[in-house]
Amino acid sequence: MVRHGKLRRIEQGVYYWPRPTILGESTPSQQALTAAKLGEPLQPSGLTAAAMLGFTTQNPGRLEYATPAEHGPSRLAAKVRNRRPDSRRRLTPQEGAILEFLRDRGETSDLSTSDTVRRLLNLLRQDGTFDRLMGPAMDEPPRVRAMLGALGQEIGVPARHLQKLRRSLGPVSKYDFGRLASLRHAREWQAT
């Protein structure tokens, strides 16, 4: 197929199918190349996640991803944070990006604090996103579970559904919510 021009070879074992566009032949995305080399699911992190979720218009010079893989690939044009929880394998890239954004405490957002919170609440309200994040969030750091609980309470998730998150937090621990400290229920979820 390579000889007949149907496929293009990037390197040994990595090929792509070019499509014609008005600007010429298409090329594979950096995320697709990274995922093909890694053979594991990739979810945006850092500025890449913030840009995907609409919190910034910046695009990093070097894309950032997170993966549950044990070891990141070598010789990539992207920064890959490995050893994320295996429970993330079931998440879409957008849902994984939300967890990464919470891990970063919202610090990669270029929006005002109130706009950042508003945008995050809208993302969590979409098509059961909050419910799908509940299980994988149990494998995240406690601050992520606390922030997700405060966000859930703000979007009106019943208290009985949030009990699992609440019980997973240390009773006297305090968590740095970063830019998300302005959440209405942040203090109830042990924000500093």
Within a domain: 155: yes
Within a domain: 95: no
Within a domain: 150: yes
pTM of the model: 0.83
In sequence order, which ranges of 11-112 are alpha helices (DSSP H)? Answer: 30-38, 46-53, 93-103
Residue whose entry in the numeric block shows the structure tokens 């019980």: 167
Alpha-carbon gap, residue 143 to 45, rounded angstroms: 17
Q: Which residues contact 83 (CB under 8 A, 6 or more apart)?
A: 68, 69, 70
Residue 175 is given by DSSP the state: B
Domain hosting residue 129, numbered range: 111-192
Task: Going residue by residue through the chain, which has 192 residues, state the pLDDT in tens, using 9 for 90 and above.
Answer: 888 878 888 777 778 888 888 988 888 876 667 666 667 788 999 999 999 999 999 988 888 989 898 876 666 677 889 899 999 999 999 999 999 999 999 999 999 999 999 999 999 999 999 999 999 999 999 999 999 999 999 999 999 999 999 999 999 999 999 999 999 999 999 999
Report the number of distinct structural domains present in the chain. Answer: 1
Within a domain: 128: yes
Within a domain: 65: no
Alpha-carbon gap, residue 58 to 75, rounded angstroms: 24
Strands (E), 124-169: none
